[in-house]
Chain A
Amino acid sequence: MDEIVAHWLQISATSAWFVTVGVALLQVALLLAVVMTLVAAATWAERKVAGRIQDRLGPTRVGGRFGWLQPVADGLKLLTKEDIIPLNADRILFRIAPYLAFAPAFAVFMAMPFSDGWVAQRLNTAAFFILAVLGLEVFGIILAGYASGSKWSFLGAMREAAQVVSYEVPLTFAALIPILLAGSMDLVAIGEAQRGWFWNWFVFHDPFTFVAFWIFVTCAVAGTNRAPFDLAEAESELVAGFHTEYSGFRWSVFYMGEYAAMAAVSGLGAILFLGGWNGPIPLASILGLTEAVGPWAGFFGHFLGAINFLMKCVSGILFMMALRWTLPRLRIDQILSMCWKYCFPLTALCFVGVTIWMLAFPDGVLGIGHPKTETGEFIVYVVKIMAEH
């Protein structure tokens, strides 16, 4: 993109470093706008969903219809609150911990494609990059728990560490299955491999991917510390867990990090399993909105794709909210045994199952399989070579 802008401004791309930096800043601003809008909408939606499910009143009078000014009121309240640092706290780490918890959740959007080719940085290992960076979120939370100098916080952080480190394993394994099907770690390529009607989505590819998708959902909820996996917070026993000692703006940064992480895992799940920017009906290609027709038609086609993607993202967030207000919390031993005794073996089984499925039905079943990728042929080839040895 920086080459295009440099060409447009009629300056050479190599000399104009400020073009590179300017374009990067523009992309960051766009991403920040999208993520922050999602976060603000999510804080309001959370109350609404809670109100519906638990039969209690959500925001009704805070400005406008349906209380849509609630996020603004929340923001003002948090900004004007007193900022307290406990006497026992490690002052430097206490200050930087919220930002360390938020930064990874936001950084993953750098590699997240919103539509075909609409991505800030197209990485050829984007799926792996996102999984690696999302795993760092736990660092800020452990640091917050430690630096607060409080027993509630410390216990919350230790639980968080055990939980997140465990659930990363089945999460990565479940994410490996779409990577195997598409034959690429490039999220743009994975999304493209699912184009067409909704039965081309990887979740409907075969029974194993369907199971793997639900394991991915479980692990994603666990990875973002949402109920029923919110042991790091555990309101009823640990006061507020790792952020007991935080208040005001610093607390709100944790809150933003949680919602940004929810958006990130929902987006990742949407691309890996739910077709990404491809809608259930290939509307863009039916209406003739493709690059082949013209640049503007292509733009609107991509725009439709971005709307599709964001709708899937929001559906994922709403599903996680509904789950939070429906299910009771699990115990730490239940969480860990669920991860290691059920999720992990199941994903391993699904992985083997998908490989065998690709060998058995390279063209899909009933003639409506996903568009053929090279991976199926590749696996046959690899098995052949290994048999020769």
Chain B
Amino acid sequence: MDAIAVFFWLLAALAVAGALLVVITPHIVHAAVGLILALSAVAGLFFLAGAEFLGAMQIMIYVGGTVVLLAFGVMLTARLTFVRMRTTADQWVIAILLAAPLATILLQSAWAYGHLKSAQLSLETKATKAEVVSATDLGLALVGVRPQVDGVNGSERQSALDQTTRDGYILPFELVSLHLVVVMVGAAYLARRRME
């Protein structure tokens, strides 16, 4: 067992513990803390796999977002100091009905991978770190430029590739932006001071 496997199991256990805390605790702030623990542990797993950009994204978007959720969602709406939520029996039944198939699928795909090839995992991580990985290609693809597809100066390959590959991810990116703008306008509309 090498260091990477040790840290993998440690982080995986933390993620599961955090997720279980979210489900089990009746205390809403404890649940938020559990969620942050689980998401941070997943970010740690990304770092362990050598995907630093993804790990930092996980922290920025999910962990940071949950912190904001905790601050504004829970604290501003909660009238009582300690909010307790009770899960009724019918809610448990529905939750188990929904969660059990998902758990089955996830466990199946986890086992289909075979053993967690820890030795190979460590070698792969080292190999990824050796070569220069940069987020530049991804960022450019988001604005619709794909130098690795186009070639930096040649235009011969461009014609061979179809239009969708050349456009990169500009359309989905813009759609997501539009979606966020709609959400923000909606939030501002709901939160506005009502003038009578």
Contact = CB atoms under 8 A, between A and B. Distances in A.
B105 to A, nearest CB: 31
B143 A382 contact: yes
B67 A139 contact: yes
Interface residues of A, number: 39
Main secondary structure of the interface of B (DSSP, over half): helix
The 8 closest A-B pairs by CB, nearest first: A161-B71, A132-B60, A17-B3, A20-B3, A17-B2, A132-B59, A129-B56, A123-B52
Contacts of B2: 14-15, 17, 20
Interface in A180-211: 183-185
A11 to B, nearest CB: 13
Question: Taking each of B63, B67, B68, B136, which has the highest tally of chain A beta carbons within 10 Å of its own beta carbon?
Answer: B67
A128 B51 CA distance: 13
Contacts of A18: 3
Contact of B59 (A17, A133, A138, A154): A133
Contacts of B173: none
B163 to A, nearest CB: 10
B16 interface: no
A92 B147 CA distance: 52
A93 B143 CA distance: 43
B75 A136 contact: no
B59 A386 contact: no
Interface of B: 1-3, 6, 29-30, 33, 36, 52-53, 55-57, 59-60, 63-64, 67-68, 70-72, 75-76, 81-82, 119, 122-123, 132-136, 140, 143-145, 147, 150, 152, 167
Question: Taking each of B1, B68, B119, B123, which has the highest tally of chain A beta carbons within 10 Å of its own beta carbon?
Answer: B68
Nearest to B167: A389
A21 B3 contact: yes
Contacts of B122: 14
Interface of A: 14-15, 17-18, 20-21, 88, 90, 92-93, 123-125, 128-129, 131-133, 135-136, 138-139, 142-143, 146, 149, 154, 157-158, 161, 165, 183-185, 381-382, 385-386, 389
Contacts of B140: 382
Contact of A93 (B33, B53, B123, B136): B33
A17 B29 contact: no
6 contacts: A124-B135, A135-B59, A136-B67, A142-B71, A149-B81, A385-B145
B50 to A, nearest CB: 10
Given A138-B67, A161-B71, A124 B3 contact: no
B68 A143 contact: no
A125 B150 contact: no
B30 A93 contact: yes
Contacts of B68: 161, 165
B132 to A, nearest CB: 7
B71 A136 contact: no
Contacts of A161: 68, 71-72
Given A93-B33, A146-B29, A386-B144, 7 more contacts: A14-B123, A129-B56, A135-B60, A158-B76, A184-B134, A382-B143, A386-B143
A194 to B, nearest CB: 19
B138 to A, nearest CB: 11
B133 A124 contact: yes
A128 B150 contact: no
A152 B114 CA distance: 54
